[in-house]
Amino acid sequence: MNKNKEQLLNKRYKAEQRFRLYGLSAIFMALLFLTIFIFKIFSTGYSAFQKTWLIVPVTFDAELMMLDQNPSKEDLQDADYYDIALKSMADLDPNANEDQENELKRMVSYFFEKEIKNELLNDPNLIGKTKEVYLTASDDLDQVFKGNYPRDLPEDQRRVSDYQLKIFDQLVANGKVESKFNISFFTNADSREAELAGIASSFMDSIFSILVCLMIAFPVAVLAAIYLEEFAPKNRFTDFIEVNINNLAAVPSIVFGLLGLGVLLAIFQLPRSTPLVGGITLSLMTLPTIIIAARASLKAVPPSIREAALAMGASRMQTTMHHTVPLSMPGTLSGTIIGLAQALGETAPLILIGMVAFVNTIPGSPMDPAASLPVQIYIWAESAERGFVEKVSACIMVLLGFLIIMNLFAQIIRHKFEKKWS
């Protein structure tokens, strides 16, 4: 009898130990996946925050620039920089033939002419003098410098020629190649050239989309939730609505994209590829999430508070507005932020409404075309150039950072403003 009991006890302990082990291994697995994911993204992405520059001596030859004596500001603006730019690249190898000169030119971004121009505009006294100018290296050489380029491949299989590599290695040996923080990644819009592409456009687009989404989804959802929870009679019709709201939350996001395409673009003729349309489409998606969160937090307000207010002679409306809604706000707000964070990472519906377009301007308002951060990731991931690989990861890092900040904000709101009742 006693022995039997001891066995039972042992069994119970063992069962608990096993269960703990399962739980721990589950957590370990989850953490492992997360670590691998983050490691992969960081290890490919961190280099995108550095940009490679070639330091090239440029002679600002007035004659080549077609400048007269004492040129005015306008003259400097209109001057011809192409020749001196070309010449300074060609001068890297005095013995270069024409083909090789062309290859030398392709070692820097097509933006090099403008970089030289800016140098002179900053300091007009440079005319007739020679100065070492920082020129953005081409994306391939950028990758070479970062060690991401397969130099061992046969020459006909790479975009960087042996000649370019030879010159580049000389420059490196002379200390004429430098890596600096990549500011243009944050200030430039998208570009076909990986070395010039940045996230400014898509970042602004995401912000505009989220704002539009918030301004539409939040009031509609909160009003719907308050009405359903506090005022609507409980009958079959409201049950039906509730079921449908829950179903709406489970609708695949691409369906909302089709809706946006069919209704917003086709019927209402709103401008294509704009944050306005994107935000409206995303708000359809966010609506059920916020309604569900708001209803849950309204439900969580203890009925005794409502009774207290009603018994004081407050009307239903006063009870709701003075007590229930303020008490439910922290939960509603954090639900809203989570819904917005979801919308922020959404790609499929935006692609359908044409936000996948290549946009190389930074939008100044929700009516300007742009592509949002996740769509930017998609666009770059589709690009063939090697230089875009690290950009994809870097853009993911920015998006993740954005999401983490939003979720953190949701947590803070929840903890700071949540009132405790007895």
Partner 1 sequence: MRKNGVKMIKIKAKDVDVFYGKKQALFNISLDIEENQVTALIGPSGCGKSTFLRCLNRMNDVIDICSVKGEILINDFNINDKSCDVVRLREKIGMVFQKPNPFPKTLYENVSYGPTIHGMAQSKQEMDEIVETSLKKAALWEEVKDRLHEPGTGLSGGQQQRLCIARAISVRPEVILMDEPCSALDPIATAQIEELIDELKKEHTIIIVTHSMAQAARVSQNTGFFHLGQLIEHGSTDKIFKNPDNKKTQDYITGRFG
Q: Which tokens belong to 369?
A: 């075309």
Q: Which is nearer to partner 1, 140 or 230 (CB)?
A: 230
Binding residue for partner 1 (CB under 8 A) from 94, 154, 175, 233?
Answer: 233
227 binds partner 1 (CB under 8 A): no
Binding residue for partner 1 (CB under 8 A) from 35, 130, 247, 318?
Answer: 318
305 binds partner 1 (CB under 8 A): yes
Distance, in Å, from the CA atom of 22 to the CA atom of 92, rounded to the nearest integer, reads 64
Distance, in Å, from the CA atom of 121 to the CA atom of 337, rounded to the nearest integer, reads 46
CB of 419 to partner 1, least distance (A): 4
313 binds partner 1 (CB under 8 A): yes
Distance, in Å, from the CA atom of 70 to the CA atom of 290, rounded to the nearest integer, reads 65
Cα separations in angstroms, 39 against 31, 42, 46, 337: 12, 5, 10, 27
Angle at 284 between CA 278 and CA 286, to 5 degrees: 95
360 binds partner 1 (CB under 8 A): no
Residue 376's CB is within 10 A of a number of other CB atoms, namely 31
Choices 54-62, 104-112, 190-198, 322-330; region in contact with partner 1 by CB under 8 A:
322-330
Which residues, 51 to 90, sit near partner 1 by CB under 8 A?
none
Q: Which is nearer to partner 1, 36 or 308 (CB)?
A: 308
Choices 191-199, 313-321, 368-376, 388-396; region in contact with partner 1 by CB under 8 A:
313-321
- DSSP 3-state assignment of 37? helix
214 binds partner 1 (CB under 8 A): no
Q: Longest C-alpha distance within the chain, in Å?
A: 113
Q: Which is nearer to partner 1, 246 or 315 (CB)?
A: 315
CB of 230 to partner 1, least distance (A): 11
Write the CB contacts of 5 (distance below 8 Å, at least 6 apart in sequence). none
Amino acid found at 370: A
Count of chain residues binding partner 1 (CB under 8 A): 23
Q: How far is Cα of residue 358 from the mean position of the Cα atoms in its chain? A: 15
CB of 310 to partner 1, least distance (A): 6
Binding residue for partner 1 (CB under 8 A) from 323, 348, 383, 407?
Answer: 323
Q: Which is nearer to partner 1, 241 or 310 (CB)?
A: 310
**Run of H or E residues at 381:** helix 373-382
CB of 242 to partner 1, least distance (A): 15
307 binds partner 1 (CB under 8 A): yes
Write the CB contacts of 20 (distance below 8 Å, at least 6 apart in sequence). none
Enumerate binding residues for partner 1 (CB under 8 A).
Answer: 233-234, 302, 304-315, 318, 322-323, 327, 419-422
